[in-house]
Amino acid sequence: MKLPETFALTDFRSNAASHIKRLAKLDRPALLTQNGKGTAIVMSPEHYERLVSDAELARSIAAVQESLDDPRPDIPWSKVAARLRSKQRRGKGA
């Protein structure tokens, strides 16, 4: 995976329209920096939707793997998915 292009926040702000147009055309995110440190990521809505979709797929695969690894037979998918969501919620609060 390629690293995102990096721009100083002030440069991005001054040339936002051209930066956004180029990022959409290249279909890549941009890292915005402030005082040399990353502060934000900018990406097209389509790129964001793909990231969300990929993350949801990864969670589903993890849930299936968890159910396959569970020694107890016949666990309904709804319970596996609920457990996975519960683990995710606990992880977000950390």
The predicted pLDDT at position 58 comes to 93
Tell me, what's the pLDDT at 94? 45
CATH number of 5-43: 3.40.1620
The type of residue at 20 is I
- Residue 36: left (phi > 0), alpha (psi -120 to 50), or beta? left
User: How far is 71 from 9, CA to CA, in rounded Å?
Assistant: 52
Tens of pLDDT, residue by residue over 63-81, are: 888 878 877 667 788 888 8
Question: DSSP secondary-structure letter at 21?
Answer: H
Pairing of strands 30-34, 5-8: parallel
Q: Where are the domains of the chain?
A: 5-43, 47-93
Q: What is the pLDDT of residue 74?
A: 76
Regions of the chain short of the pLDDT cut 50? 93-94
pTM of the predicted model as reported, rounded to 2 decimal places: 0.61
Beta bridge pairs of residue 7: 32
Instruction: Report the alpha-carbon distance of residue 59 to residue 3 in Å, rounded.
Output: 24
The 3-state DSSP class for residue 35 equals coil
